[in-house]
Amino acid sequence: MARTARTVGRRAVLAAALGLTAGCGAARGGPGGPGGPGGRPPTAPGTDAPSPARPSAPSAAPSAAQPPAPPQREQVLARYAGRAPQRWGTDLPGVVATVPGGALALTFDACGGPGGNGYDAALIGTLRRLGVPATLFLNARWVDANPGPFAELAADPLFELGNHGTAHRPLSVTGRSAYGITGTADPAAAYEEVAGNRAKLTGLLGRAPGWFRAGTAHYDEVGVALVGELGERVAGFAVNGDGGATFTPGQVAATVAAAPPGSVVISHLNHPAAGTGEGYARALPAMLDAGCRFVRLSDPA
């Protein structure tokens, strides 16, 4: 159904209010604006049809040839025994924080465990209604607690499902912590954090996940290399869209709208009472009208 001029006018006002000319200008071929990446998380992580101007939902989930079988656990642990990491954080070599082509890659974590097993159905409904694809990182505990939502997400070609770990721990080989969450203690524990949920998702989906994001998105370089051994790529982020599910709706909307083209944006789908869902509902329609494109991490450029 065609939108009225009045609706378009309201959207234009909203776009200006959210600073969309800065966040989406380069995606339309215009000059990029001054909007920069959002800050790092202050706390632990915690139906109308789309209009013709909006991107339609992808017709199928990202497809790729299955990688060769990963090496055996004993082989991996023998290679990494005794390696001493020198780096720690969210932005290490091998951690992917941008995508080519000027699109935005929206990613949403479901962390699981006590206080983390919620499901933001309104957020997912907004993405579906607007035809906005996203990569969803699911923790093993969240999958176990949400069999119904998991099955619906797995069957929806709009979404790509990634590995968010077995126990939602920072990926360390020395037990290093982030935001008060103790990291994996050694290479064996790091292996299990990746491989345990990889096996769960592979069994449920019939294919292995292609991407991994650790709990808190923190790594040392040995952990990053270990993820690659298991056949997955490490997802980081350039823009923190919801501040670990602590931002108000207005903060979420403004931060997401200002994301520079090419950014990987991190937010959460497991806190329905947070400002994430409403913030995206405010930002996305005007962003789409401004020409922003959205992709999953495995989509071709």
| pTM for the predicted model, two decimal places | 0.81
- pLDDT interval class at 72 (50, 70, 90): confident
* pLDDT on residue 245: 98
Per-residue DSSP letter, 292: -
* pLDDT on residue 70: 60
List the Cα angle 22/24/28 in 5-degree steps: 125
* pLDDT on residue 79: 87
DSSP characters over 46-97: --PPPPTTSPPPPSS----PPPPPPPPHHHHHHHHTT-----EES--TTEE-
- pLDDT interval class at 23 (50, 70, 90): low
Which range, of 21-35, 110-124, 142-156, averages the lowest pLDDT? 21-35
Q: What is the pLDDT of residues 158-187, one digit of tens each?
A: 999 999 999 999 999 999 999 999 999 999
Residue 10 above 70 pLDDT?
no
The token pair that represents 16 in the structure block? 């200006």
DSSP characters over 134-162: EEEEE-HHHHHH-HHHHHHHHH-TTEEEE
Q: What is the pLDDT of residues 237-294, one digit of tens each?
A: 999 999 999 999 999 999 999 999 999 999 999 999 999 999 999 999 999 999 999 9
Provide the percentage of residues in the chain whose pLDDT is more than 90.
72
Residue 145 above 60 pLDDT?
yes
